[in-house]
């Protein structure tokens, strides 16, 4: 059930049911506030008092807006857990690529070795949807990749 999806002060709604709805809305607001505040801290990377006060206010506004929006709208997409199954690899791939890039930069900047690299074009099939087709109606797009060698 969506947070706050029930009609406000509906006569047939019992007091206990309204209290449960209000509790769900309050918990949803608190979750959005915490999430918004964490995003604020990640983006500002500071714990200065002045910026924390601004962050508290901005997070409260964001939480209020999100609670109202989520309470009024039905979800457009339901994410299935199996869709996220490949996601566990992404942090490891990011670390691997970062280590590789730092190694190449270290060799070039600190040791004076010139990095050798190449661009590769990888053909990719586009979805059947008309909105994804290029203007020339071709069915293949290319993606560029950079490869460094030691």
Q: Mean pLDDT highest for which of 32-36, 71-75, 129-133?
A: 32-36
pLDDT of res. 10 = 55
Is pLDDT above 80 for 88? yes
Positive/negative CA dihedral, 40, 46, 52, 54: negative
Is pLDDT above 60 for 145? no
Nearest to 5 by CA among 73, 87, 85: 73
Nearest to 134 by CA among 124, 120, 144: 124
What residue ranges do the domains of the chain occupy? Answer: 15-72, 89-149
45 secondary structure, DSSP code = -
pLDDT of res. 3 = 46
Q: How confident is the model at residue 19 (pLDDT cuts 50, 70, 90)?
A: confident
Write down the mean pLDDT value for the chain. Answer: 77
Nearest to 30 by CA among 2, 1, 62: 62
């Amino acid at each position: 059930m969506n947070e706050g999806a029930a009609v406000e002060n509906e006569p047939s709604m019992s007091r206990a049911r309204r209290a449960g709805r209000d509790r769900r809305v309050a918990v949803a607001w608190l979750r959005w506030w915490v999430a918004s505040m964490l995003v604020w801290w990640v983006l500002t990377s500071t714990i200065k008092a002045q910026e924390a006060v601004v962050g508290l206010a901005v997070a409260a506004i964001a939480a209020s807006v999100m609670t109202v929006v989520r309470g009024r709208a039905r979800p457009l997409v339901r994410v299935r857990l199996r869709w996220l199954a490949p996601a566990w690899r992404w942090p490891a791939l990011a670390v691997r690529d970062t280590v590789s890039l730092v190694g190449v930069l270290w060799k070039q900047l600190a040791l004076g070795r010139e990095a050798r690299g190449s661009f590769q074009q990888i053909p990719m099939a586009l979805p059947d949807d008309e909105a994804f087709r290029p203007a020339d109606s071709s069915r293949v797009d290319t993606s560029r990749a950079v490869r460094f060698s030691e």
